[in-house]
Amino acid sequence: MRRVASIGVLLALAFGATRAATPPIDPQAVLTHIKVLSADDLQGRANGTAGLERAAEYIAAEFRGAGLEPAGGGNGFFQPFEIAAGLAIGAGNELILRGGGQTVRLSLGASYIPLAVTPNDSPREPSIDLDNVPLVFAGYGVVAPAQKYDDYAGIDVSGKAVLIFSHEPQENRADSRLNGARPLRETSLYAKALAARNRGARALLVVSDPTHRVDQVNYEVFPLEPDAEDHAIPVLRVSRASVAPLLQAWDLDRVAALIDTDLTPRSRALTAATADYTEFLSRNPRTIRNVVGMLRGTDAERGDEAIVLGAHYDHVGLGGRFSAAPDMTGEIHNGADDNASGVAGIIEAARAAAADRSRFPRSLVFVAFAGEERGLFGSAHYASNPAIRDTIAMINLDMIGRSKGRVEVGGLVASPSLADDVNAAAKAAGGIEVRRSSIGAGRSDDASFLDKNIPSLHFFTGFHDDYHRPGDDWHKIDAPGTARVAALALELAARLAAARGRPPMLNR
């Protein structure tokens, strides 16, 4: 018997719980799982990497040790599926810029990286091949009608490559009509790419603006973990140091300073300036795996109905386009809270449930999802291929590692009848403040089940400054709070498993 059993009794007395309905969830056991899953040697658990596969093997072993049956549909605890994870790099990638009597050749992973590509199915065939395309300067590439600012006003970029600066003018001025230090949607990379594409540009080249002379991009990491968006035109981040002679020849730093002074666009065609760009980048199909374990319900009739407890175990690897700190690309993003915490919670919830099976007339299915960070792919695959066909409810744990005595619950707007069950479960779990999420339903893997009209709740303890950054490490985890959120999820599952009826869901 674990020493923490006596702690569970004390918690029950302190918070007025009438009985310790399940073996208590051990905070130290939860923290141990988080340490393993967020260790540096898993390299941030990016989809399609060896680190993710090692995490999957660990979770499967823990599910087995907890007493779950494998429920991967013929693959043991694993439910494999395929996604396009990153890019395959072929030979021959090159960017050449000409102007001011000079020619600059740039190399992939050394002096430029693609932020957006148009990949094909073979790295041996060029997906983009631009030759002698006229080059145009379009300031910061910003189109913000409400702020009466348009870098494309009076300039034709159709069929041309567009060179712009990163960031925005007057970025550090609080009185700027472009919002100053506050983010403006029109200054995002996506908005800049869309503005160029909608005006017929064939490529967009982005260089650090003069107020950011230290280039924040780690170009060398791209070959290690190649990935990029798809904005229908290539978007290339170009090293400022490599193109400094061209910037000087075209006097663009001085022009940027003038724009920063008065917010008057000064875009123009660059005389006798051209760009060549050849791209050998293709989609990289990878097989990744959900990890699925089952605790069979004790009721002969309701055992064919399931409650799913899920948490995604993938994260963002070394950063890149999924990082909230792109300047730190190349550093390991360990994802202790996002979402080693949720996975640790369902592992220990499974252990506690298996130790008290009589509470679960309906079956429980525990799923660690892959592919969440790339678009909920794992949960979508499971929802379409469930271990038990009749799923009556889903409980999702995503970022539950910084509780501080409270948890946000999303999905109650769509399933208001579950509110009383959640509150009762919170008391039985040892007392935790439940806050109804203002965002509502469908913010993570629960969305895949809501799309199947399955009542789904999302447990979450809040965003923080380490979200999708290298600082999301295990030593910042509130282990007792994480254990309490997991106990709340299990207590709610017990109520749903024993209920005679099914939780209704309002029309979405």
pLDDT digits (tens, 9 = 90+) for 240-281: 999 999 999 999 999 999 999 999 999 999 999 999 999 999
Please say if the pLDDT value at position 134 is more than 60.
Answer: yes
Q: In the predicted model, what is the mean pLDDT of residues 132-156?
A: 96
**Percentage of residues of the chain with pLDDT beyond 90:** 71
Ranges of beta strands (E only) in 182-296 are 203-207, 235-238, 268-279, 281-295
Q: In the predicted model, what is the mean pLDDT of residues 70-96?
A: 93
Backbone φ, ψ for residue 444 (5° rounding)? -150, -140
The answer as to whether 504 is a domain residue is: no
Number of domains in the chain: 2
pLDDT digits (tens, 9 = 90+) for 291-312: 999 999 999 889 999 999 999 9
Domain span including residue 127: 91-279
pLDDT digits (tens, 9 = 90+) for 427-438: 998 889 999 876
Q: In the predicted model, what is the mean pLDDT of residues 94-119?
A: 93
The answer as to whether 371 is a domain residue is: yes
Which of 415-445 are b and which e, b meaning 16 or more Cβ less than 10 Å from the residue's Cβ?
A: beebeebbeebbbbbbbbebeebeeebbbbb
Q: In the predicted model, what is the mean pLDDT of residues 186-203?
A: 92
Please say if the pLDDT value at position 441 is more than 80.
Answer: no
Q: Are residues 216 and 67 in the same domain?
A: no
The answer as to whether 503 is a domain residue is: no
- Report d(CA 499, CA 362) in Å as an integer: 9
Residue 234 confidence (pLDDT): 94
The chain-wide mean pLDDT, for the chain, equals: 89
The answer as to whether 75 is a domain residue is: yes
Q: Are residues 158 and 270 in the same domain?
A: yes
Q: Which two tokens stand for residue 478?
A: 């509130």
The answer as to whether 507 is a domain residue is: no
Query: Is there a cis peptide before residue 198, judged by omega within 30 degrees of 0?
Result: no
For residue 508, name the pLDDT band (cuts at 50, 70, 90). Answer: very low
Domain boundary among 252, 279, 306: 279
Which of 276-294 are b and which e, b meaning 16 or more Cβ less than 10 Å from the residue's Cβ?
A: bbbbbbbbbebebbbbbbb
Please say if the pLDDT value at position 13 is more than 70.
Answer: no
Q: What is the CATH number of the domain that holds 107?
A: 3.50.30.30
Kindly report which listed range (10-14, 77-81, 112-116, 393-397) carries the lowest average pLDDT score. Answer: 10-14
The answer as to whether 505 is a domain residue is: no
- Report d(CA 215, CA 218) in Å as an integer: 8
Specify the pTM: 0.74
Unique residue bearing structure tokens 């469908």? 442
- Tell how strand 203-207 and strand 78-89 pair up: unpaired
Q: Are residues 308 and 424 in the same domain?
A: yes
Domain boundary among 249, 264, 279: 279
Residue 217 confidence (pLDDT): 79
Nearest to 474 by CA among 366, 315, 367, 329: 315
Please say if the pLDDT value at position 335 is more than 90.
Answer: yes
For residue 506, name the pLDDT band (cuts at 50, 70, 90). Answer: low
For residue 174, name the pLDDT band (cuts at 50, 70, 90). Answer: confident
Q: What is the CATH number of the domain that holds 13?
A: 3.40.630.10
Q: What SS3 string covers 156-212?
A: CCCCCEEEEECCCCCCCCCCCCCCCCCCCHHHCHHHHHHHHHHCCCCEEEEECCHHH
Unique residue bearing structure tokens 């020849």? 249
The answer as to whether 506 is a domain residue is: no
Q: Which two tokens stand for residue 47?
A: 């989809």
Please say if the pLDDT value at position 2 is more than 60.
Answer: no
Q: Are residues 345 and 490 in the same domain?
A: yes
Q: Are residues 20 and 73 in the same domain?
A: yes
C-beta atoms surrounding 96 within 10 Å:
16
Q: Are residues 75 and 122 in the same domain?
A: no
Domain boundary among 235, 254, 279: 279
Q: Are residues 259 and 406 in the same domain?
A: no
Residue 119 confidence (pLDDT): 82
Residue 4 confidence (pLDDT): 32
The answer as to whether 433 is a domain residue is: yes
Q: Are residues 105 and 75 in the same domain?
A: no
- Report d(CA 122, CA 119) in Å as an integer: 8
Q: Are residues 15 and 146 in the same domain?
A: no
Residue 242 confidence (pLDDT): 95
